[in-house]
A = this chain, B = another copy of it.
Amino acid sequence: MTPEAAPAPDSRPNPFRLERGGPVAPRSGLLATAHGVVRTPAFMPVGTQATVKGLSPDEIRAAGTQILLANTYHLMLRPGADLVRERGGLHAFMGWDGAILTDSGGYQVVSLRERVAIREEGVAFHSHLDGHPEFLSPERAMEIQADLGPDIAVTLDHAVSLPASPEDVRDAAERTLRWTERSLARAAALSTPTGLPQLRFAIVQGGGDPALRAEMAERTSRLPCDGFALGGLSLGEAKEETWSAARAANGSLPADRPRYLMGMGTPEDLLEGIAAGVDLFDCVLPTRNARNGMAFTSDGPLNIRNAEHARSGAPLDPRCSCEACARFTRAYLRHLHQAGEILAHRMLTLHNVTFYQTLMREAREAIDRGAFDAFGGEFRRRYRDTRAADSP
């Protein structure tokens, strides 16, 4: 961290207390939000449309969730940010009193690709719902997030899919930095529906190039934000490239501020990310894969469609105590899945989110007793992922 990196973030009170670890090492900490303290490292289940698909707020909590993610892009289109503000913000709207982070919408907009035009002013795109033309600027992204009222808002970024030319990668990273400045300037003038404070995380881009990542992290860390998000990773580069880029960025961010790795998360990714100094994660894998019949277990992923489970009296995971494992056999859950029943989606989702949250809690405990490496090794020895790599 260069000397000039420190001042600006420190101009805002630090919501994070680092308890163990350093800039590029397994860390544990406490992140104070308007809806409670989040113990990190923490995993955020994805609630794209203001609901974690299939689960009630009580179940999201019972799974061990402290903070969830909702998507600005989807909510700005439906039901609309003004409606959510009118109903008191996301927490009141969806009946969730834990912490919420919203992304900025940048990733979703760009992933639509062919219907998108990126200009310096912002991103013009068409709604995936009805083709309506829309425009998202850095300022607008923060206005929408102020209306939604999450505990943590994220600045607008420009991500590029890899492979891309070094020029394109730098161009997007530089634009992201300019957009971050504009996002933060606009956010300073906004307020949430409840009047409760909102933290601001700035996205660091830079593709798979560690030097560029380090540079962008260092320059971003001079801006008046509360925490940082690593964007544009796992977008086509090799896994080693992902982690060296993440490590380079984390090494150039202030050690005492929270870092969030966006949109990545097999169980192995979480362990790798924690080792690289990441505090917050989100990923659709536990929820999306559940609806496809895939359950995460201590022994590795399990496909409930497989005939071997048809008459099984065993739970999904004998080491799990979620409602799905406490109440139902694989035979019943397979029947429900084969019959297309909602309860299958519910129960596999509940189990998978519980599995992720249990993994994170155990990782935190291992960090706190200085035994993270042993914990990770033990997990990997038992966990066998025999499938082809499953990307989000």
Asked whether any CB of chain B lies closer than 8 Å to the CB of A342, the reply is: yes
Do B342 and A49 touch (CB < 8 A)? no
Do A331 and B93 touch (CB < 8 A)? yes
Residues of chain B with a CB closer than 8 A to A50's CB = 332, 335-336
Do B87 and A323 touch (CB < 8 A)? no
Asked whether any CB of chain B lies closer than 8 Å to the CB of A95, the reply is: yes
Q: Among the interface residues A51, A57, A335, A336, which one has the most CB atoms of the partner chain B within 10 A?
A: A335
Which size bracket describes the interface of A in this complex?
Answer: 35 or more
Do B95 and A51 touch (CB < 8 A)? no
Separation of A51 and B338 alpha carbons in the complex (Å): 13
Do A342 and B339 touch (CB < 8 A)? no
Do A86 and B311 touch (CB < 8 A)? yes
Residues of chain B with a CB closer than 8 A to A334's CB = 79
Interface residues of A in 328-366 (CB under 8 A from B): 328-329, 331-332, 334-336, 338-339, 341-343, 345-346
Separation of A313 and B94 alpha carbons in the complex (Å): 12
Interface residues of A in 154-178 (CB under 8 A from B): none
Separation of A325 and B182 alpha carbons in the complex (Å): 42
Do B332 and A93 touch (CB < 8 A)? yes
Asked whether any CB of chain B lies closer than 8 Å to the CB of A56, the reply is: yes
Asked whether any CB of chain B lies closer than 8 Å to the CB of A61, the reply is: no
Do A313 and B83 touch (CB < 8 A)? no
Separation of A222 and B83 alpha carbons in the complex (Å): 64
Separation of A79 and B341 alpha carbons in the complex (Å): 13
Do B93 and A341 touch (CB < 8 A)? no
Given the known A-B contacts A51-B341, A83-B310, are A56 and B346 also in contact in the complex, defined by CB atoms under 8 Å?
Answer: yes
Residues of chain B with a CB closer than 8 A to A328's CB = 95
Q: How far is the CB of A152 from chain B (nearest CB, A)?
A: 21
Q: How many copies does the complex hold?
A: 2
Asked whether any CB of chain B lies closer than 8 Å to the CB of A53, the reply is: yes
Asked whether any CB of chain B lies closer than 8 Å to the CB of A78, the reply is: yes
Asked whether any CB of chain B lies closer than 8 Å to the CB of A124, the reply is: no
Separation of A332 and B51 alpha carbons in the complex (Å): 10
Residues of chain B with a CB closer than 8 A to A338's CB = 78-79
Separation of A51 and B55 alpha carbons in the complex (Å): 17
Do A342 and B87 touch (CB < 8 A)? no
Asked whether any CB of chain B lies closer than 8 Å to the CB of A113, the reply is: no
Interface residues of A in 221-268 (CB under 8 A from B): none
Asked whether any CB of chain B lies closer than 8 Å to the CB of A54, the reply is: yes
Interface residues of A in 29-55 (CB under 8 A from B): 49-51, 53-55
Q: How far is the CB of A343 from chain B (nearest CB, A)?
A: 5
Asked whether any CB of chain B lies closer than 8 Å to the CB of A327, the reply is: yes
Closest to A335 in B: B79
The 10 lowest CB-CB distance pairs between A and B, nearest first, are A79-B335, A54-B342, A95-B327, A49-B339, A51-B343, A51-B341, A87-B331, A93-B332, A342-B342, A95-B328
Chain A interface (Cβ < 8 Å from any Cβ of B): 49-51, 53-57, 78-79, 83, 86-87, 93-95, 310-311, 313, 323, 327-329, 331-332, 334-336, 338-339, 341-343, 345-346
Question: Can you give 8 contacting A-B residue pairs, CB < 8 Å?
Answer: A51-B342, A53-B343, A54-B346, A78-B338, A79-B310, A79-B334, A93-B329, A93-B332
